[in-house]
Amino acid sequence: MSRLLLAFLALISLNASAQVISGPMLGPVELRDAIIWLEVAPTVRSVKVVYTPVSNIGKKVAQPSVTYTGKLGAASNPVSLVLADLEPNTVYNYSIIIDGKAVPGAGGAFRTKELWQWRKPAPDFSFLTGSCAYFNEPVYDRPGTPYGGDSSIFLTMAKENAAFTLWLGDNWYYREVDFFSPSGLWYRARRDRAQPVLQPLLRKMPHYAIWDDHDFGPNDSDKSYTLREESRKVFTSYWPNSSAGSGGEGIYTKVSYGDVDIFMMDDRWFRSANAMNPDDSSGAPNAAKRMWGAQQLEWLKNALLSSNATFKIIATGNQTLNPMARAECLQDYPAEFNEFLSFLRQERIDGLLFLTGDRHHSEVIRWERPGSYPLYDVTNSPFTSGISKVTGTPEAANPARIGGTLVEAQNYSRVRVSGAGGKRRLQVEFVGIDGRTLGAWSVSESELKTPAAR
């Protein structure tokens, strides 16, 4: 990314207001409400969002608002404001008022979801997704070649007219200096979220997120991480998903758009150590070794059974189906993996596929299931982190990989869902920094149907 462009973006951010550290960012936007997120300076006493439907501009109407009272002196001061009583399929303009003064350039616009059910066919739409965003900070990075790449990929993403962005984990990278200090965890999220290059994307469309190891704790971290409760506080403060787990446990949740349900999984909070033996003393799968955990898996099963979506997407940080994965994979937890695949077969769940990250390359993996439709794992990575190539390794000849889908470069996914009812198609394009398509794959709803019982 050019120094001139970075300087220009930094100047825009500075001129907007020194009181706004980052944002505004659109959180979940529904039929009746929306969430506006931003982080403000420690000196801020109050934040107000004023919002008006575009159709009412120029008319004398009451301007609804919602106000947050800040935590004076807090180093990290993220704010999530819920805008309520909205109308479906309506564009709203909003402005930010801090300590009673409007903040120039800190407003924006959003459109609420369309009420299409029982009225018209499911809408066509697209969304963006990907994982692994590393912003260099030499004083705390490991010596040597910088790990973070060209961050202008986020400017390319901001040009997309997508419904939302789904972040698949490693959305920031805690460093050794951060791992065991609560202030370090907050610092990393605050510092990386404030990068000027991110701001246009944050403002452009709604954002949803799950985590993986690097934005949860140390590399390959699990439920033994000593600061996991603090890490959860940081994550939920910077990603205003509609919910986060249950009973204060985990961050799993679900988002729906059109005729697609996305089940956003937590692959860290309940996770057993990777080093735990996958088999017990008898050679059977070790029931104690879990990635998602019993509580979350029970939620997922019921959520899938309750879903009427054409496409049911399970988003989780690690790959799930790759038989040649050199890194963490759901198959490394065979008791849980077998239990879940048995559930899918027994309950005849249609329309299911996976979205995953972590691997620092992109690909689509196909998993055959005799007597049922194949499962697919669409892996997208990295946004800006280092590339991990499989070329030159045994994994390069992975027979489970769909031809033409291996991308060993910075990229993000553009996922399109379109077509008439009964003929819906989901298309994935791996898009490079400059907006070019580097790989593509698609599947129809008919290809994800359980064969009729004989």
pLDDT tens digits along 337-346: 999 999 999 9
Spatial CB neighbours of 88, under 8 Å, sequence gap ≥ 6: 31, 32, 112, 113, 114, 115
pLDDT tens digits along 76-118: 899 999 999 999 999 999 999 999 999 998 999 999 999 999 9
Residue 444 has pLDDT above 60, yes or no: yes
pLDDT tens digits along 140-191: 999 999 999 999 999 999 999 999 999 999 999 999 999 999 999 999 999 9
pLDDT at 57: 59
pLDDT tens digits along 357-387: 999 999 999 999 999 999 999 999 999 999 9
- Strands 34-40 and 20-29, by their bridges, are antiparallel
- Could you tell me the end-to-end alpha-carbon distance of the chain, in angstroms, rounded to an integer? 58
Identify the band that residue 12 occupies on the pLDDT scale cut at 50, 70 and 90.
very low
pLDDT tens digits along 268-282: 999 999 999 999 999
| Mean pLDDT, residues 311-326 | 96
Cα(39)–Cα(112) distance, integer angstroms? 23
Domain boundaries 125-447, corresponding CATH code: 3.60.21.70
In CATH terms, 3-111 corresponds, of 3.40.50.970, 2.60.40.10, 2.60.120.960, 3.20.20.70, to 2.60.40.10
Cα(43)–Cα(248) distance, integer angstroms? 30
pLDDT at 191: 98
Structure tokens at 165: 């962005």
Domain-by-domain residue ranges, the chain?
3-111, 125-447
CB of 386 closer than 8 Å to CB of 149: yes
